Amino acid sequence: MFPGKPLEQSFYLNSDVVEVARLLLGKVLMTSFKGWITSGVIVETEAYAGITDKASHAYGGRLTKRNEVMYKAGGIAYVYLCYGIHSLFNVVTNVSGIPHAVLVRGIVPVDGLELMLERAGKVKLHPADGIGPGKVAKLLGIHYSHSGLSLIGSIEGNSDTKIWIEDRGDLVEGNIVAGKRIGVDYAGEDALLPYRFRLDIKKAP
DNA sequence: CGGCCGATCCACT
DNA sequence: GTGGATCGGCCGA
């Protein structure tokens, strides 16, 4: 039914978090809760480069209850609450001990459109409805309580709660555009790094 | 223990 | 363009 297969852990162990952010564009982020599947093509990401990156939650080696999953081996979710309202979904990358992560900032909805409409409280999906990190989590039903969940091989097993990422080829086509990250002005020079990537969409599914 | 504020979104002007 | 929502984490006292 879903032709792709989950990305393997080797993909997430990549030591170059900026490259992973770029490679995630065009991949399909999927969730399944009690068998209800929704998904979207990732079209916008941001890299957060660990203890040397002032914009990262792990800057300076900061280690708290919230961000401890960033220090685990790549291939798990880091989800946290922002502004008291929004769950923001990140992919943890690199080997254990190096707290790299990629924030997923935008998707184009693919599977489970009706359920996503319901989650969004809308009657029709507008192309912009999947753009924005809070909206990504909302449409896919991701909650900060899912932080730490494995993204590897979760399609196997019988858990009620699954999150994973597939490569299904070019469902969305466009040029990759790099730019500075959003909402991180407090990070000084690091706020200017070109760690944000998006697909300038030419063809949507 | 108190207070500030954030990797945001939406309604409203 | 702007401000309110809403709450866990973090820092300073």
Q: Kindly report, residue by residue over A90-147, the tens digit of the pLDDT.
A: 999 999 999 999 999 999 999 999 999 999 999 888 888 999 999 999 999 999 999 9
A202 touches strand C (CB under 7 A): no
User: How far apart are alpha carbons A113 and A141 in whole angstroms?
Assistant: 12
pLDDT digits (tens, 9 = 90+) for A175-186: 999 999 999 988
Q: What pLDDT shows up at residue A22?
A: 97
**In percent, how much of chain A has pLDDT > 90?**
81
Q: Is the pTM of this model over 0.75?
A: yes
Bases of strand C lying below 7 A from some protein CB: 5-11
pLDDT band at A200 (very low <50, low <70, confident <90, very high): confident
Of A49-53, A54-58, A66-70, A200-204, the poorest mean pLDDT is in A200-204
Q: How far is the CA of A39 from the C1' of B3 (A)?
A: 40
A3 touches strand C (CB under 7 A): no
Q: What pLDDT shows up at residue A1?
A: 55
User: How far apart are alpha carbons A44 and A198 in whole angstroms?
Assistant: 4
DSSP β-bridge partners for residue A39? A30
Q: Residue A16: which residues within 8 A CB-CB, separation 6 or more?
A: none
Kindly state the average pLDDT of the residues A7-26.
97
Q: What pLDDT shows up at residue A2?
A: 61
Q: What pLDDT shows up at residue A100?
A: 97
Q: What pLDDT shows up at residue A47?
A: 97
A143 touches strand C (CB under 7 A): no
Scanning every strand, the nucleotide with its C1' closest to A86's CA turns out to be: B8
Q: Exposed e or buried b for every residue in A88-127, given b needs 16+ CB within 10 A?
A: bbbbbbbeeebbbbbbbbbbbbbbbeebbbebbeeeebee
User: How far apart are alpha carbons A94 and A78 in whole angstroms?
Assistant: 13
Scanning every strand, the nucleotide with its C1' closest to A121's CA turns out to be: B10
Helix H segments across A48-202?
113-120, 133-140
Q: What pLDDT shows up at residue A186?
A: 86
At CA A136, angle to CA A183 and CA A25, rounded to 5? 85
The answer on pLDDT for A28 being more than 70 is yes
The answer on pLDDT for A198 being more than 70 is yes
Bases of strand B lying below 7 A from some protein CB: 6-10
Q: What pLDDT shows up at residue A205?
A: 74
Residues with CB under 7 A from strand B: A 46, 48, 55-58, 78, 81-86, 88, 90, 101, 103, 120, 132-136, 181-184, 186
Q: What pLDDT shows up at residue A74?
A: 97
Q: Which residue is nearest to nucleotide B6 (CA to C1')?
A: A83
Kindly state the average pLDDT of the residues A146-156.
83
